[in-house]
Chain A
Amino acid sequence: MWNKSYCLYCELPLEEETTWKSLFLGDEKKNEFCTECLMKLQAIEGKRCKICSRPQDEEGICRDCQRWEEDPAWQGVLSRNLSLYTYNEFLKELMARYKYRGDYILIFGFKKQLKKILAEVTFDLAVPIPLSKERLFERGFNQSEAGLAAMDLRPIYALKRKHSEKQSKKSREERIHLEEVFLPTEEDISGKNILLFDDIYTTGSTLRHAGRVLKESGALQISSITIARS
């Protein structure tokens, strides 16, 4: 009960606040960031793009999303993305440690914030974005699945990765469409609203590629949550 807790990121001891709740419920402070670290995160608030959550001066749809929406192939593929923070230097370092050094449990430091944002999303199934076999071996875990775990969601494996053949074996036409990396699995998702999770929203391309395959398999709406919006 009196075990010291430490910030999940900077490892300094957390200020102990002994409340009745903490006395009765025990170690509530596990996997948390300290106040100093939280202050270095820049939450996305106020006006932003209605689709991708990019902070901007007016409500409405940002230019990038407009371009996606103008293309019939991509129109409506992603209904809404919610991101927690802007991708500042601090978050860059934190995410690098999570994804590239492979510090799996860091994502659980965002649990509270993720669950809060999750309440804003209507969905039936949570689908992780699959990694290539090589990448999965290298990293040891799937960062999208870990995010779903942090939100206490059961993953539905409705997507798999296309086997990546050697580039040289492919025709030019095939190389252009190389980005089509996902395939549907046997899971029945018809008529369901889907939630995706990724660590960072950069161009929105990964989420839309995944979303399109799911929509083609009969999914209704695709929403997504990311930690960072770059």
Chain B
Amino acid sequence: MKIHLKPLIPFSFSTELQIYLTGRALPYDELTDFHPILEKHITSGYVGWMDGLSQGTCHRCGNTESHLFGEMPCSRCGKTCTYCRKCIMMGRVNACSRLHVWTGPHLEYLLKEEPLKWSGKLSPQQAEASRKAIEAVKTHSILLIWAVCGAGKTEILFEAIAEAIHTGKRVCLAAPRTDVVLELGPRLKAAFPGIEIAVLYGGSEDRHHHGQLVISTTHQLYRYRDAFDLMIIDEVDAFPFSGDPSLEYAAQKSRRETSSLIYLTATPSSEFKARVKKGVLDAAIIPARYHRHSIPVPELSWCGNWEKSFAKKTIPKAVSKWLAERLQFSTPFLLFFPNIKIMEEALPLFQRLHPDIQYVHAEDPNRKEKVQSLRENKVPGLLTTTILERGVTIPRLEAAVLGTEKPIFTESALVQIAGRVGRSADHPTGNISFFHYGKTEEMLDAVSHIKQMNAEAKRRDLIVE
């Protein structure tokens, strides 16, 4: 992308603008505080700009899909002007918009001797992965950390982040979901107390903070360009990262040309697995949980035509039996549904078994509270969509999937769901059941994925049972 740039005429530039704009590419409307001084910085060559949108591509979010562009009679340029609808929730980028970038002196960070203040101890396998991550930081290379659910992935990153910060680098930890960003923020702030950390998500207050360490949803990366020396992408397989090319674009755009890239996942896509197998992608594989118990293997259970059962206002027998057992022993449970509609319709049937059973889905405003009440044993269990397949840790939790044959339950989704069970050291086991009306490849693959990881963990002597 071409950057329009005037020759540098030295003057006492605004360090505030330098800090604000370094690593970002922002339209005029996002530089409100700097409007009076912006022009001077442009004519003196301290700020350059590139087209917001050209040749059918939005240069903020990378959108190229024709139906996600609109045309309007633009009062700024006086012409019919194309604009991007994909990233419009961050303010509109038009064909006549400019994205401003800092082209003045490079921003240097003060060197921090020991930025990491974390007293925890890594398990030998975590330590091994951590060494690889540090190596990736030092050599500007790409690494996949493939660690089972409950392996302690965040801790593995600490030393690598410390290494980058220590050498004056800028770091981004990107995750696809706000939930995950909110969970990571405090943990990293506690581990790196002396470092300026910006936690970014839609509507976050840190939006204007610089941050040598940025923890961000992948969406918020649209504002960045050529910013990070170390980019870590958490849950690289998760919605909405995979399948949305513009988020991939944002992650690439926000990295510096010479930089390190670390992918984290419990369930790599087949493409990632193939790259690891071919030896073109370096990987650190952690097959066992930090508590050194194997991951519970899902039980497949045929439950007949469950849609028909629901139509007749009954719960399939296998499912109601499973539920009755959980209720009898007060075991907190999650029951996963393939979509909201079926779940909504089925709720009254489940509330006959226990009136306090609730459901949650992505747009549920009380999602956090409902999960919290499950954690506190105030509700016996929740019906849920795949929204809770990740990031939920509840002691003693058991889980089941209803309609496992539906396409939404991919291998990766099912492995993640199984990964909710047996996470705590005090209760490392638990039941995970896949209720289905016909087996699919995906559910068989999910089972063999878990078995393979367990076998690998045993082989490497990482399991204590």
Which of A's residues lie within 8 Å of B, judged by CB? Answer: 4-6, 11, 97, 101-105, 136-142, 146, 149
Contacts and interface: CB of A to CB of B under 8 A. Distances in A.
13 contacts: A6-B67, A97-B88, A97-B89, A101-B89, A102-B83, A102-B91, A102-B92, A104-B72, A105-B70, A140-B72, A140-B92, A140-B94, A141-B74
Contacts of A5: 67
B85 interface: yes
A172 to B, nearest CB: 31
B84 to A, nearest CB: 10
B68 interface: yes
B345 interface: no
B270 interface: no
A216 B73 CA distance: 31
A142 B71 CA distance: 14
Nearest to B72: A104
Given A101-B88, A101-B89, A137 B75 contact: yes
B76 A137 contact: yes
Contacts of B92: 101-103, 140
Nearest to A136: B75
Contacts of A104: 70-72, 83
Nearest to B29: A138
Top-3 shortest CB links A-B: A104-B72, A105-B70, A102-B92
B72 to A, nearest CB: 4
A139 B94 CA distance: 12
B88 A102 contact: yes
B75 A140 contact: yes
Contacts of A146: 72
Contacts of A103: 70, 85, 88, 92
A69 to B, nearest CB: 36
A130 B331 CA distance: 63
A11 B68 contact: yes
Given A104-B83, A105-B70, A138-B29, 8 more contacts: A102-B91, A103-B85, A103-B92, A104-B72, A105-B71, A140-B72, A140-B76, A141-B73
B75 A142 contact: yes
A47 to B, nearest CB: 33
Nearest to A96: B89
Interface in B80-109: 81, 83, 85, 88-89, 91-92, 94
B85 to A, nearest CB: 6
Contact of B74 (A11, A101, A105, A140): A140
Q: Which among A6, A105, A139 has the greatest number of chain B C-beta atoms within 10 A? A: A105
Interface in B384-428: none
Contacts of A6: 67
A136 B29 CA distance: 13
A192 to B, nearest CB: 25
B442 to A, nearest CB: 24
A99 to B, nearest CB: 12
